[in-house]
Amino acid sequence: FVTAGVFAATLGLLVRDRLRPTDLALGVATLTGALAAGRTMLSMAAAPLAGRASDWLGSRWRVATWALAVGAVGMVLTSRGSPSVVLVGVSLGAATGGGIQALATAVTGDLVSQARRGRAVGLLHTVGDLGSALGPPVAYALLPRLGLPGVYTLCAALFAVGLALILCAQLCWNRQDP
């Protein structure tokens, strides 16, 4: 919902409003494309790093918790600050997207029997696709009321809710990593 939905759909607005291209040779569309490509590369690099960290620590949940915290901070930085701070926020958000996607798939594989694994991973990705599809219309419906910084702050709150859910699952049900 956040990274592939809201953020991807509003990236051009972010470039236009917050990064304000001053070089006439590089327009908003060019910079948006470059930023989208950079996000993809960071996300691709973060996925195996998150997996490696979870293997090294022996805890997918701990790494997912950190990834969501980093994502929340990234969205706050993206919503406020100078262009360089915005770029740091965008980078943190990209790393979160790759890490969470890799970890969610791994956790699903860990928790579901082999006979049901294909169905469970398919459902996970279907729900992810639904979030990606719902993100843009929700973001654009909220933009007139909240503005881009408000929409991104709301996304930071969604990452924080995910973080709280993981912590609650860990603490309330004494859930250990598989």
pLDDT digits 0-9 by tens, 8-40: 999 999 998 888 766 556 788 888 998 999 999
**CA distance linking residue 176 with residue 178, whole number of Å:** 6
Does residue 174 register a pLDDT over 70?
A: no
As given in the structure block, the two tokens for residue 151 are 């929409």
Quote the pTM value.
0.84
> What pLDDT was estimated at residue 177?
54
**CA distance linking residue 69 with residue 165, whole number of Å:** 12
Does residue 164 register a pLDDT over 70?
A: yes
Tell me the mean pLDDT in the region 65-74. Answer: 93
Banded model confidence at residue 173, pLDDT cuts 50, 70, 90: low
| Amino acid found at 116 | R
